[in-house]
Amino acid sequence: MTFISDGCAALRQACSPAARRVHVLPLLALFVALFFGAATWAAAPAAAQIPSISTRGEGTVEIPADKAEVRVSIVTRSAEPNTASEENETETATILRTMRAAGIPEADLQVASVRLQPHREWDSDRRGWVEAGFEAVRSVRITVRDLAVLPELVASIVDNGVNRIDGVQYMLSSPKDHEVEALRLAVVDAHRRARAIAGGLGYSEVQVVSVKEDGVSAPQPMMRLESAMVAKDSGGGNPEAWAEGTITVRAVVEAHFNAFRR
């Protein structure tokens, strides 16, 4: 009987008005929060989308070259391979002595390659190639850091045994500084393009989001006389032909901007 009485008492307590108020209040609070939260979310305006603009900018800097690499070959031919090789060594040594006397340092003189090979000539009567002894070839690279002496230098090496000029390549001693300037101009160009696009769309300001370097190049102009034999009595040709070249350093960037109205 005591167990039954205690159970009834607990049931009456749970069903009392006070107990019902305790359970209902948290549910009521949750309902109010959800209702007003949903109303606030529905009433909030959609976030305005910021227009974005992507452009590519290009910057170029033109600089006179301040050094050159002259590529020459000494070619000797003989019926005997040893004779062709020995004559080639002698003429190459004369060329190198001439360059040292002209003030070219040893570090700027480099023998790039040496070849000894059979020589063939075209026989028009037989209408075919025929063996004509042997040919020795030494290729030498000469770095010239004073371009004012380049024409006279070319004439001198031709007079002293060089019979083939493979090319003259103009270069810059310090290209990095010019590359940085080209990049700066490329960024300015990208910004100018973005402002032009924004103005056409009715926006007055742009703000950079990101900039990416897309390459820097400095093509080096080369004067080539590929496989052309130079006569020793030509004096190296016209000195004006060896005038210094101009190098164009080019940089490209990709840039992204956001557009705004004041």
Domain ranges of the chain: 2-43, 66-172+222-242
Closest CA to 140 of 206, 89, 203, 211: 89
Which strand ranges, in their side-by-side order, compose the sheet holding 128-144?
Answer: 109-123, 128-144, 67-78, 164-171, 222-223
Of 146, 168, 154, 181, whose CA–CA distance to 63 is shortest?
181
Supply the DSSP string of 125-173, one letter for each residue: TTTEEEEEEEEEEEEEEEEES-GGGHHHHHHHHHHTT--EEEEEEEE-S
Residue ranges for the chain with pLDDT beneath 50: 1-4, 7-8, 10-11, 14, 19, 22, 32, 34-36, 38-44, 224-229, 231-237, 239
H or E, element range at 233: none
Using CB atoms within 10 A of its CB, is residue 5 exposed (0-12), middle (13-18) or buried (19+)?
Answer: exposed
pLDDT at 26: 56
* pLDDT (tens digit per residue) in 6-46: 544 544 554 555 545 545 555 555 554 544 454 444 444 55
The predicted pLDDT at position 138 comes to: 93
| Residue-level pLDDT at 150 | 87
Instruction: Quote the tokens at residue 169.
Output: 């390549």
pLDDT given for residue 83 in this prediction: 94
pLDDT at 256: 97
CATH of domain 66-172+222-242: 3.30.70.2970
Task: Quote the mean pLDDT of the chain.
Answer: 80
pLDDT of residue 157: 85
N residues, the chain: 262
According to the model, what pLDDT value does residue 234 have?
47
Q: Write down the pLDDT at residue 13.
A: 54
Q: What is the pLDDT of residue 11?
A: 43
Q: Can you tell me the distance from the alpha carbon of 210 to that of 194, in angstroms, rounded to the nearest whole number?
A: 13
